[in-house]
Structures are given as C-alpha cells and as structure tokens.
Amino acid sequence: MSVLSILKWPDKRLATPCIPVAEGEDLATLIADMLDTMYDAPGRGLAGPQVGVLKRLFVMDVDWKTGPRNPLVMVNPEILWRSEDSQPGEEGCLSIPGVMTEVSRPTQVRLRWRDATGATQERDFDGFAARCIQHEYDHLDGRVTFDHLDEEARTAAEDRYRLHKDQDA
C-alpha cells in the first residue's frame, strides 16, 4: 500500500479520455493505493487519471470525513440515468488544489459499475454522492470542473488557481 502522487491541472493526462478496464485485470494493488492516496490527500474521490492511470475507474468515500470509512470502488462505471433537475454546488478537486468551482449538475444519477470483487452493481445516488460520482466520471472522460464554466468564469477560475499555486510555491 502506498500513497501515489496526484497529477495537477493542466497536466495533459487529465484531459485524456480513459480506456475501459479489461476483464480479469488485477486491480487490487492499484485500488488499495488509490484509496490510501484519497484518504491521505485528504479527499472524498479520486479517479485513475489523477494518479496517471488512464483507465476507467475511480474510488470515493463521501462519509469518512464525518463518520466511519465507507469506500466505494467504481470500475468501468456507466451513468445510466440523470435526473432532469440540476443544482449548482461548489466543488474542489485534488488536481486543482485551493480552488472551489461552482458546477451545476443533475441531483440524482443511476450508476452501474463493477466493484473491487468484480461483481456488477447498480444503484441510484443523490445528494453529495451524486455530485461526487459525476465529478469523478468527468475525469474518466478527460474533463475537469473548469470545463463546465463559460469562458469568463473559466478565465477567472484559472487565474485564481494560478495565484494560489504561485503562493504555494
């Protein structure tokens, strides 16, 4: 088990659509490392491309900051349905540290995925979990929060990010 380094925007790998995980591929080490990395960050979601693995999987745990750990591992996830009603909300991203971005997203989604044991799962999610899933799912398609903004908002968000990075350096 180890903590991996997290790629920071604008690394090109964060803008690259990911390929499906192959049937029977052994993901045990990668999944353990991704969970370690997410908890260490600390964050509530982490997608493959954020650690340089351009494959369709992500891990999330929307509960652990306020209760016991409840990790979910989503391999080859598919969003089967999105609710018609959307809501804006502030989102952080481990690859865009220090900047919150307001993104409007459907409030509910239905997801089908393979879990860490290879079993197929299907469930509806709402609330923060629905938002987190859509955020991580975006990463698998090479999209980040900035890609949801119009040009003016995007420029402002990118400026805030660069300023934050310069202050950190």
Based on the residue annotation, tell me whether 23 is a catalytic residue of this protein.
Answer: no
Q: Where are the beta strands (DSSP E) in the chain?
A: 45-47, 57-60, 72-82, 86-91, 101-106, 108-114, 120-126
Q: Which is nearer to Zn ion, 93 or 140 (CB)?
A: 93
Listed residue (148, 161, 135, 11) closest to 77, CA to CA? 135
Interface stretch with Zn ion, choices 28-36, 61-69, 93-101, 119-127 (CB under 5 A): 93-101
Size of the site for Zn ion (CB under 5 A): 1
93 binds Zn ion (CB under 5 A): yes
Interface stretch with Zn ion, choices 30-38, 59-67, 91-99, 161-169 (CB under 5 A): 91-99
Q: Which is nearer to Zn ion, 42 or 118 (CB)?
A: 42
At 19 the three-state DSSP class reads strand
The one catalytic residue in 90, 91, 136, 151 is: 136
Listed residue (111, 115, 117, 155) closest to 137, CA to CA? 111
Residues that bind Zn ion (CB under 5 A): 93
